[in-house]
A and B are shown apart, each in its own frame.
Chain A
Amino acid sequence: MPTENPYLLFDVPGGQLAFGDGDLDVWAEHLAWCYRMMGIPDGSTIAVQDYGSSPISFLGSSLLMPGLRRGVAERFDGRFICLDASAERVTLTPALLAQLSVDALVIREDVLELLSAELRKKGFADLAQRTMKTIVVFGDEPPALNPVRLQPSRHFMHVESALLLAPQCVKCDCFHLREGFYEVDGRMIRNLRLAAPPYYLSRGELFGPSHCAAGIHDWCIGWSPRGRGI
């Protein structure tokens, strides 16, 4: 069902997301659920290196979007660091991580290599790896293992056009499609909470509900070890 009276419109790769009254809080709550599923505790400082038009960024705090009553920072009683994903800004991240202790860095896969190189250049890679969780955001498939990159603690599946946000579970290592948010029909995944085109899962294995106790009614997506970047 199309969003009624949308007042926020985001062009994303392959589509558009439109939000009306009350929509943003539904998705901020879901994003907070995703972070908890990936093992991020309340009170955390979460830094996100992504574009401002990505929900992983703009749902970060109520300060970023009108109509968002409680973003991730408010739901975690934590802090949110806005790090734009442009190359110019990625090069600044090591100096910022040196100033502030961050619990989780959530970063787009396509800029991970650049950040890893900058961290190495500044002699900060080992410290970063030890002191924070790195969550790597990918689209269709988790990136293959690359030893020169900062090693992810978790992966986070994000298909922008479908507003598909599926966290890698700390219990089962699979990616949860949360009950009530997504519906699975064959290999087609439908968003139940926002008007968005369905997403066809071309690779990966789908497991039906009861696969994992962390979300007993969730469908899960699993990848081979290589597919999980291992």
Chain B
Amino acid sequence: MRDTTSGCARNDLIETLSGAQLTAWQTGRLREVTNHAYFDVPFYRKLWDRAGVEPGPLRSLEDFERFPTISKHDLVEAGDGWTNPHQGPVAFSTRGTSGAPLLVWLSAEEEEAYIQPTMRGFRWAGFRSGMTALLMSPVWHRLAACEAHAIARLGGRCAFFWGSMGSEFTDSFLHTLSSQRPEFITTTAPFLLSLIRGSHGATNRPHQLFKGVRSVVVVGLPLTPRMREFLRDRLEVEDVFERGGTQEGAAIDECRWHTAPHVHEDVCYLEVLDDAGIPVAPGSRGRLIVTKLSTAGSVFVRYDTGDIAAFAPGQCPCGCGFRRLKIYGRPESSVLVGDRIITAYDVRMCIEEDPTLVGRNVLLIREANARAGVLTVAIEGEAHDPAKLQARLREQLGVASADLVWLGDLRVNWGFRQVLDGRELQLPRS
């Protein structure tokens, strides 16, 4: 095993397994996790008894597919029945964008398991020993808590700015950026976009402060190819990587080929299902289902995230055998138009075909006429070629018509939520 300095560094055993070996290994882990859940977490025992499944005979991934999926609502309702005796001492909250927030527990054993893939992802993104990393707040997300541990083990220094991930803290971030001169940054895409937008007219342009930054790793927004270019060019950094994950255990990271983030198959087993609960083929979209391959921390078995995702078909040129998964949208970043789910990502893909519109904030508007197939989109700034854009949205997204709202000088915060209710925005349309 070796740690290469170019391409996707690979130095853990799990990455060297063949497809069949990996499947066998994951099946074993799933058997262990389901056995633990059945005997130690009352919620699962009750659920699976009712569904007539039991973990003992689990011999294949097909066996595993017979287990029912669960939702956040189920877990909130379960209360103490979902408690794992090994859940650990630290809890994080989910963002509550799809209903009530949920407290998710982390244990030392589980964190240890997740530090390894974090190190792998950071190596893929170019982190090397001796570098300084400017990191997200460790209390912001379960995966963020692993980041400083990963950097320390990779031989780096960690720097933290004061505050949180809201746009009101971009100055604080820039201050730390200029004083610490990190080579590596983890942050959220909405935060970076807010920072770029807020820098118009500033004496110090962001790229001056980002000088020396080699890699920026972002979470929180699926990057379109043009959005990645936009961030890279505006900040003048070497590369921008997409990282993803959920409090419920999904963990994904991009390699330098940017073909789609690789799933860290050693800590989570991910599925993409259609509305009937059947796995979809790579390249097709469906709902993301997460199972954490650990008996420690909060136990998630076939948890339906509500996210819209697809596995990428074929192999990545980097040679890593881990599947690749793109998460296109979450419930808070998609709207139903007619009978189609349209994500903000899809809309941005259409909009960004016009280079003048790249980097503008785009919001989907949830309105009553969506039932009749009308997609309503709000776009920051002045109108640009609206007729062509409407035609593109209709053709590429298969909607009956597209209504555009140009926001002019109105600035709506870049955020994880990319859908507004129609009543929240009253502006003339084109």
A residues contacting B by CB (< 8 A) are 6-13, 16, 48, 50-53, 57-58, 60-67, 73-74, 78-89, 92, 95-96, 99-100, 160
In the bound complex, do residue A82 and residue B101 qualify as a contact, i.e. CB atoms below 8 Å apart?
A: no
In the bound complex, do residue A64 and residue B138 qualify as a contact, i.e. CB atoms below 8 Å apart?
A: yes
Q: Is the interface of B mostly helix, strand, loop or mixed?
A: mixed
Q: Which single member of B144, B152, B162, B166 contacts A12 (CB below 8 Å)?
A: B162
Instruction: Please give me the residue from chain A that is nearest to B144 by CB atom.
Output: A52
B residues contacting A by CB (< 8 A) are 76, 79, 88-93, 95-96, 100-103, 106-108, 111, 136-140, 144-145, 148-149, 151-153, 156-166, 172, 175-176, 179-180
Chain B residues positioned under 8 Å from A6 (CB to CB): 157
Q: In the complex, A62 Cα to B88 Cα: how many Å?
A: 12
Chain B residues positioned under 8 Å from A100 (CB to CB): 91, 103
In the bound complex, do residue B96 and residue A63 qualify as a contact, i.e. CB atoms below 8 Å apart?
A: no
Q: In the complex, A52 Cα to B89 Cα: how many Å?
A: 17
Nearest chain B CB to A77's CB is how many angstroms away? 9
In the bound complex, do residue B157 and residue A53 qualify as a contact, i.e. CB atoms below 8 Å apart?
A: no
Interface centre among B91, B102, B145 (most CB of A within 10 A): B91
Q: In the complex, A13 Cα to B152 Cα: how many Å?
A: 25
16 extra A-B contacts, CB within 8 A, seeds A53-B137, A85-B164, A86-B166: A7-B158, A11-B180, A13-B162, A16-B179, A48-B139, A58-B138, A60-B90, A64-B139, A65-B148, A67-B152, A79-B91, A81-B93, A82-B138, A86-B164, A96-B103, A100-B91
In the bound complex, do residue B137 and residue A61 qualify as a contact, i.e. CB atoms below 8 Å apart?
A: no
| A and B contact pairs by CB, cutoff 8 A, 27 listed | A7-B152, A8-B160, A11-B172, A11-B179, A11-B180, A52-B164, A58-B160, A61-B90, A63-B88, A63-B89, A63-B90, A63-B106, A64-B90, A64-B148, A66-B152, A66-B153, A74-B89, A80-B89, A80-B90, A81-B103, A82-B90, A83-B93, A84-B137, A86-B163, A92-B95, A95-B101, A99-B103
Inter-chain CB contacts under 8 Å: number: 140
Instruction: Please give me the residue from chain A that is nearest to B151 by CB atom.
Output: A66
Q: In the complex, A99 Cα to B101 Cα: how many Å?
A: 9
Q: In the complex, A21 Cα to B159 Cα: how many Å?
A: 15
Known contacts A11-B179, A82-B139, A95-B100; A53 and B160 CB within 8 A of each other = yes
Chain B residues positioned under 8 Å from A99 (CB to CB): 76, 79, 100, 102-103
Q: In the complex, A73 Cα to B100 Cα: how many Å?
A: 26
Known contacts A63-B89, A84-B137, A92-B101; A51 and B162 CB within 8 A of each other = yes
